[in-house]
């Protein structure tokens, strides 16, 4: 059967304005992330662990936003807001795997910063090419397999309704429609949350506690290195954590007292702001990327003006 989305409301001719705004955001996400991926790939000086993990982050943001934006654009233009069961399950898999890859990628990046700042002389012997390949494999393969198990448990539920109170498919919304026993889903959900969120957060906190300890006892140069490379990562982490919190609150609690537009904004924050925010913060704050961007964008004009 089909699911109906209850969060959409009649906007009349304004739907074309909303469509244009969402389309512009999606184009901005594609252009900014693809630009930085290409920049990292074509510049050999950026083929360092930190930038390779960053490249993985940008690829994931393209992956995640593609699971949401085309779907919402189509729903805005439709008069009847429905989706088939199979497409709904695919979207849930797409978005949840995006979240899992993002948090594990950010965890690996914090580990990389920990090695770089706490063990600068041993960094290249500890962060070998094989280790980089293994970490990137874990970043992508582990979440994709884990989310597949979770989706299997959801698909096997017997449903007694088809109204989803959101603008896209959400796992908890499907579980709430179930009239069969959800004990296994709830237990797996708790274990999954601990492994997916609590463990990465603990590893990130440990990495930054060690980094702070080195900064307080280290030289001015060490502190400067830590601030310049860790600030964008922390900003990205906080932004992503906020988005996830908004999504959890939206799913688990009654938000009927919150204006409809605000609820929609909060529910898409984690997939909209992160892919826009990251290219900006890393592009502006990381000196190597900033220099390469300036060289690429301004170099040609500078040469033309000289000739």
Which residue range forms the structural domain that includes residue 33? Answer: 2-306
Residue 275: pLDDT band (50, 70, 90) is very high
Tell me the C-alpha distance between 48 and 272, whole Å: 28
- Over pLDDT 70: what percentage of the chain? 94
pLDDT of residue 304: 45
> Mind listing the pLDDT tens digit for each residue in 175-221?
888 887 777 777 877 788 788 888 898 999 999 888 888 887 877 78
Residue 110 and residue 49 in contact, taking contact as beta carbons nearer than 8 Å: no
Going by C-beta distance under 8 Å and a sequence separation of 6 or more, which residues neighbour residue 60? 98, 101, 102, 105
Task: Please give the residue that has the higher pLDDT: either 181 or 296.
Answer: 181
β-pair partners for 4: 82, 163
pLDDT of residue 167: 85
pLDDT at 299 exceeding the cut of 70: no
pLDDT of residue 289: 76
Residue identified by tokens 């930085």 is 36
Encode 107-128: b = buried (16+ Cβ within 10 Å), e = exposed.
bbbbbbbbbbbbeeeeeeeebe
Tell me the average pLDDT across 21-35: 93
pLDDT of residue 215: 82
pLDDT at 305 exceeding the cut of 50: no
* Mean model confidence pLDDT for the chain: 84
pLDDT of residue 10: 73
- Over pLDDT 90: what percentage of the chain? 30
DSSP H or E run through 1: none
> Mind listing the pLDDT tens digit for each residue in 140-173?
998 888 888 877 777 777 888 888 888 888 888 8
- Of 167, 72, 53, 164, the closest CA to residue 113 belongs to 53
Going by C-beta distance under 8 Å and a sequence separation of 6 or more, which residues neighbour residue 251? 170, 172, 173
- ∠140-201-38 over CA atoms, to 5°? 40
- The tokens for 58 are 């940008």
Q: What strands, in cross-sheet order, belong to the sheet with 2-5? A: 82-84, 2-5, 163-164
Task: Please give the residue that has the higher pLDDT: either 254 or 4.
Answer: 4
Q: How far apart are the first and last CA of the chain?
A: 66
Alpha helices by DSSP H, listed for the chain, are 14-42, 49-66, 69-77, 85-118, 123-126, 129-155, 171-176, 183-193, 199-217, 220-252, 260-285, 287-306
- Of 236, 116, 94, the closest CA to residue 169 belongs to 94
β-pair partners for 84: 2
Least confident segment among 117-121, 134-138, 245-249, 251-255? 251-255
- The tokens for 149 are 């198990």
pTM for this structure?
0.88
| 90 to 96, 130, 153, 300, 307: CA distances (angstroms) | 10, 32, 14, 44, 54
β-pair partners for 12: none
pLDDT at 303 exceeding the cut of 60: no
pLDDT of residue 269: 86
CATH number of the domain within which 29 lies: 1.20.1070.10
- Number of domains forming the structure of the chain: 1
> Mind listing the pLDDT tens digit for each residue in 45-103?
888 899 999 999 999 999 999 999 999 999 888 888 889 988 988 998 999 899 999 99
Q: What is the per-residue DSSP string for 224-278?
A: HHHHHHHHHHHHHHHHHHHHHHHHHHHHHS--TTS-HHHHHHHHHHHHHHHHHHH
Tell me the C-alpha distance between 181 and 160, whole Å: 12
Tell me the C-alpha distance between 66 and 271, whole Å: 10
Encode 228-249: b = buried (16+ Cβ within 10 Å), e = exposed.
ebbebbbbbbebbbebbebbee
pLDDT at 307 exceeding the cut of 70: no
pLDDT of residue 100: 92
pLDDT at 306 exceeding the cut of 50: no
């Amino acid at each position: 059967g089909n699911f109906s989305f209850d969060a959409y409301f009649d906007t009349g001719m304004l739907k074309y304005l909303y469509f244009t705004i969402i389309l512009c955001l999606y184009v901005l996400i594609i252009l900014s992330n693809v630009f930085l991926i290409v920049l990292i790939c074509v510049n050999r000086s950026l083929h360092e662990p930190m930038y390779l993990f960053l490249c993985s982050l940008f690829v994931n943001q393209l992956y995640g936003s593609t699971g949401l934006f085309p779907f919402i654009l189509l729903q805005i233009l439709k008069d009847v807001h429905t989706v088939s069961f199979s497409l709904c399950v695919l979207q849930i898999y797409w978005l949840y795997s995006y979240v899992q890859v993002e948090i594990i990628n950010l965890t690996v990046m914090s580990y990389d910063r920990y090695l770089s700042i706490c063990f600068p002389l041993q960094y290249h012997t500890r962060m070998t090419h094989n280790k980089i390949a293994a970490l990137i494999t874990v970043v992508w393969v582990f979440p994709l397999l884990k989310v597949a198990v979770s989706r299997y448990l959801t698909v096997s539920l017997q449903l007694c309704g088809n109204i989803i109170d959101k603008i896209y498919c959400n796992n908890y919304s499907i579980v709430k429609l179930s009239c069969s026993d959800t004990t296994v889903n709830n237990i797996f959900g708790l274990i999954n949350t601990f492994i997916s969120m609590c463990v990465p957060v603990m590893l990130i906190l440990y990495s930054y506690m060690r980094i702070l300890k080195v900064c307080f006892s280290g030289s001015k140069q060490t502190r400067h290195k830590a601030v310049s490379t860790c600030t964008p990562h922390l900003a990205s982490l906080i932004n992503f954590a906020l988005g996830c919190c908004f999504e959890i609150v939206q799913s688990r609690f009654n938000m009927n007292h919150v204006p409809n537009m605000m609820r929609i904004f909060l529910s898409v924050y984690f997939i909209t702001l992160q892919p826009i925010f990251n290219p900006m913060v890393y592009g502006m704050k990381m000196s190597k990327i900033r220099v390469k961007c300036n060289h690429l964008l301004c170099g040609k004009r500078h040469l033309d003006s000289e000739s």
